[in-house]
Amino acid sequence: MGEDRNTAPRDTLVRRLSHTVLGVALVSSALTAGATGFLSEHMLLMAEDHQLRSAALHLLDEAAGLDEAQAGEVANHELTELAGSAIGITLFAGERRLGGAPGIDALSGCEWSRAPGQAGLRRCGVAAGGRLVVTEQHLAFVPLMRSWLAGAALLAAVGAALLSLAMSRRMARWAARPLTELSESLSRLQPGMPVPAPLDTPARYAEVDALRVALVELLGRSQEALEQSRRFSANAAHELRTPLAALRIELELQAENPHPPDTAASLARLLRTVISLGTLVERLLVLADGARGTLEWVEPVRLPELTEEVLLGLAKEAASRVRVETEGAGQVRGDAHLLRQLVENAVDNALKFSGKGPVLVRIRDTGETTLLEFQDEGPGVSREDSARVFEPFYRSPRARARHPGHGIGLSLVALIARAHHARAEFLEAERGAHLRVTFAREP
Average pLDDT value for residue range 196-217: 70
37-51, 320-334, 413-427: the lowest-pLDDT one: 37-51
Higher pLDDT, 191 or 62: 62
Average pLDDT value for residue range 383-393: 75
Provide the 10 A C-beta neighbour count for residue 117: 6
Higher pLDDT, 234 or 23: 23
Which of 119-123, 131-135, 148-152, 194-198 is predicted most confidently?
Answer: 131-135
Q: What is the pLDDT of residue 374?
A: 94
Q: Are 300 and 333 in contact (CB under 8 A)?
A: yes
Is residue 121 over pLDDT 90? no
How far is it, in rounded angstroms, from Cα 264 to Cα 252?
11
How far is it, in rounded angstroms, from Cα 311 to Cα 321?
10
CA distances from 302 to 299, 309, 434 (A): 10, 11, 22
Over pLDDT 70: what percentage of the chain? 75
CA angle in degrees (0–180, nearest 5) for 293-299-305: 110
Q: Are 110 and 54 in contact (CB under 8 A)?
A: no
Average pLDDT value for residue range 384-394: 74
Q: What is the pLDDT of residue 194?
A: 61
Each residue's pLDDT tens digit, 363-378: 999 888 999 999 988 8
> What's phi and psi for 299, nearest 5 deg?
-165, 160
90-99, 221-230, 407-416: the lowest-pLDDT one: 221-230
How far is it, in rounded angstroms, from Cα 223 to Cα 229?
10
Banded model confidence at residue 404, pLDDT cuts 50, 70, 90: low
Average pLDDT value for residue range 17-35: 74
How far is it, in rounded angstroms, from Cα 81 to Cα 140?
22
Q: Which residues contact 15 (CB under 8 A, 6 or more apart)?
A: 169, 172
How far is it, in rounded angstroms, from Cα 212 to Cα 194?
15
Q: What is the pLDDT of residue 318?
A: 87
Is residue 126 over pLDDT 90? yes
How far is it, in rounded angstroms, from Cα 214 to Cα 216?
6
Is residue 4 over pLDDT 70? no
Q: What is the pLDDT of residue 120?
A: 78
Average pLDDT value for residue range 51-60: 91
Residue by residue, DSSP assigns 378-436 as SS---TTTTTGGGSTT---HHHHHH----S-HHHHHHHHHHHTT-EEEEEP-SSS-EEE
Is residue 215 over pLDDT 50? yes
Q: Which one, of 143, 115, 125, lies nearest residue 45 by Cα?
A: 143
308-334 exposure pattern, b = at least 16 Cβ within 10 A, e = fewer: eebbeebeeeeeebbebebeeebbbbb
Residue by residue, DSSP assigns 81-133 as HHGGGTEEEEEEETTEEEEE-TTPPP-SEEEE--STT-TTEEEEEEEETTEEE
Q: What is the pLDDT of residue 54?
A: 93
Q: Are 75 and 99 in contact (CB under 8 A)?
A: yes
Each residue's pLDDT tens digit, 250-263: 888 888 888 888 88
What value does the mean pLDDT of the chain take?
78
Over pLDDT 90: what percentage of the chain? 14
Q: What is the pLDDT of residue 124?
A: 93
225-258 exposure pattern, b = at least 16 Cβ within 10 A, e = fewer: eeeeebeebbeebeebbeebeebbeebeeeeeee
CA dihedral 280→283→285→289, nearest 10 degrees, is -160
Is residue 94 over pLDDT 50? yes
Banded model confidence at residue 184, pLDDT cuts 50, 70, 90: confident
Higher pLDDT, 292 or 372: 372
Is residue 2 over pLDDT 50? no
Q: What is the pLDDT of residue 1?
A: 38
Set out the domains of the chain in order of their start, with CATH numbers.
13-143 (3.30.450), 206-283 (1.10.287), 293-440 (3.30.565.10)
Average pLDDT value for residue range 123-131: 90
> What's phi and psi for 25, nearest 5 deg?
-65, -40
Q: What is the pLDDT of residue 119?
A: 77
How far is it, in rounded angstroms, from Cα 90 to Cα 420?
101
What letter represents residue 392's amino acid?
P
Is residue 405 over pLDDT 90? no
Classify residue 71 as exposed, middle or buried by CB count within 10 Å of its CB (0-12, 13-18, 19+).
Answer: buried
Average pLDDT value for residue range 298-318: 87
Is residue 219 over pLDDT 80? no
Q: Which residues contact 382 (CB under 8 A, 6 or more apart)?
A: 396
Is residue 140 over pLDDT 80? no
Collapsed DSSP state (helix, strand, coil) of residue 326 = strand
Q: Distance between the two ends of the chain, CA-based, in angstroms?
A: 45
Does this model's pTM top 0.85? My answer is no
Q: What is the pLDDT of residue 326?
A: 92
How far is it, in rounded angstroms, from Cα 239 to Cα 374?
34
